[in-house]
Amino acid sequence: MALASPHITASVIAAVDYPDLVQHYQVTGVPKTVVNDRVEILGAVPEADFVSQVLESIA
Amino acid sequence: MIRHNPWMHAGAGGPADLDAALANLATPVTLVFFTQTFGCDTCLPARQIVDQVAARSELISVEEFNLVLDRDQAEAYAIPRVPAIAVAGKADTGIRFFGLPEGHELVSLVQAVLLVGSGDSGLSEESQALIAAVEQPIDIQVFVTPT
């Protein structure tokens, strides 16, 4: 998605290296996706669902 | 002898597949690596993994910046912590990796290099149309573990 839009950034974060972030975002399982600190997506979801949930963050 | 070689434990697809895919890279990709001198145990091993990825193709280059000393670059790439890797093509893509890229994260890094090298997001036309309409900043953070 980051590749498809200049307005989107995407970070992959190694949970084990950043316990402070894990605590802050309450990561209890992976993959866990946090969008604009507002929307959370748990686990791996199909592309269409993922895109629509990401876009919810700016709705 | 390398006692711990993360490349050999990359999992999905295995090293041979990753090698083959990287060897077919079409356009240049830069791995912009951010490190710091003190207080970062994973920075050196992360740089070694970055070098291993870059060694797979002449089209992959590495630039290194220091989070503390190269503040302008850290700000330009919006890097708050290290080790960090920004994946860039002709321009920055907004794709970042934080922490030691081993296991799944290494596979994801290689896939990101391949995507950037191809210039194609690989998304469906429907997804691309939705994303093309985005005019506000969206920051996606994905937490992963090596296994």
The domain B6-132 having CATH identifier 1.25.40.10: the answer here is no
Other Cβ atoms closer than 10 A to B145: 16
Question: Does residue A21 fall inside a structural domain?
Answer: yes
Question: Does residue A7 fall inside a structural domain?
Answer: no
Tens of pLDDT along A14-33? 999 999 999 999 999 999 99
- A34 to each of A39, A55, B58, B102, how far by Cα in Å? 6, 12, 35, 21
User: Out of B109, B132, B142, whose CB is closest to A31?
Assistant: B142
With vertex at residue B26, the alpha carbon angle to CA B20 and CA B30, rounded to the nearest 5 degrees, is: 95
Question: Does residue A50 fall inside a structural domain?
Answer: yes
What is the β-pairing status of strands B29-35 and A32-35?
A: unpaired
Give the range of the structural domain holding residue A51, as residue numbers without chain letter.
15-58
Question: Does residue A1 fall inside a structural domain?
Answer: no
Chain A contact present for B38, CB below 8 A: no
Interface predicted TM-score (ipTM): 0.98
Tens-digit pLDDT profile for chain B (147 aa)?
Answer: 344 555 555 544 556 778 888 988 999 999 999 999 999 999 999 999 999 999 999 999 999 999 999 999 999 999 999 999 999 999 999 999 999 999 889 999 999 999 999 989 999 999 999 999 999 999 999 999 987
Q: Which residues of B touch A16 (CB under 8 A)?
A: 99-100, 145-146
Q: How far is A45 from chain B (nearest CA, A)?
A: 13
CB contact under 8 A, B139 and A25: no
